[in-house]
Amino acid sequence: MRPRILRDAKRFLKYLIGLLKGKYQPSLLFWVSLDLMRQDGGGGNIVPTESAVWNVSTWGHAKWGGADGFYTAFKAELDTLNKNKPNNVQDTLIAETAIKNRFELVTDDVDLYTITKRFGGQCTNTKPFAFDLGL
């Protein structure tokens, strides 16, 4: 079975979707549902985010999580590391969902990569990921 992947950047994913078609079966592609990160129409499964954030999460595609404090702790560390980048809310939702669902997060964001690993997540960047696919 090929690894399940989780995307984190709209620009990268439009590129990646083209590469993946023919490499993965659509049922093995899992996407986080955020307003900017919609399912590509290729039959991938929509995975709800593990927490919901007002004005970010999509109704029906987010869980009412947060009781374990994971989202708050992860975002605080990410904010500290990268000086409160505006997309930290989305990055935290994506990373939390990847970690809790045992997905491998593919990102070229060094700060997101660092904190994801610190919280026990599996993470890679686009170069080794593309190499593993034989691209």
Has this prediction a pTM greater than 0.85?
no
Question: How many helices (H) and strands (E) are present in the chain, helices listed first?
Answer: 5, 5
Query: Measured on CA atoms in the order 49, 68, 124, 107, is the torsion positive or negative?
Result: positive
pLDDT tens, position by position, 11-32? 555 555 555 555 544 434 444 4
Q: Distance between CA atoms of 128 and 82, rounded to whole angstroms?
A: 24
Do 4 and 28 form a contact (C-beta atoms < 8 A)? yes
Q: What is the pLDDT of residue 91?
A: 92
Please state, in angstroms and as integers, the Cα–Cα distance from residue 97 to each residue in 21, 40, 135, following that order. Answer: 23, 19, 27
Domains contained in the chain, CATH given: 5-132 (3.40.50)
- Name, in order, each residue with C-beta under 8 angstroms of 8's C-beta and a sequence gap of 6 or more: 91, 94, 95, 105, 106, 107, 109, 112
**Residue of 45, 17, 21, 16 lying closest to 33 (CA atoms):** 45
pLDDT tens, position by position, 23-66? 544 434 444 444 334 444 445 567 888 999 999 888 888 898 87
Q: Distance between CA atoms of 65 and 49, rounded to whole angstroms?
A: 9
Q: What is the pLDDT of residue 26?
A: 41
pLDDT tens, position by position, 85-99? 999 999 999 999 989
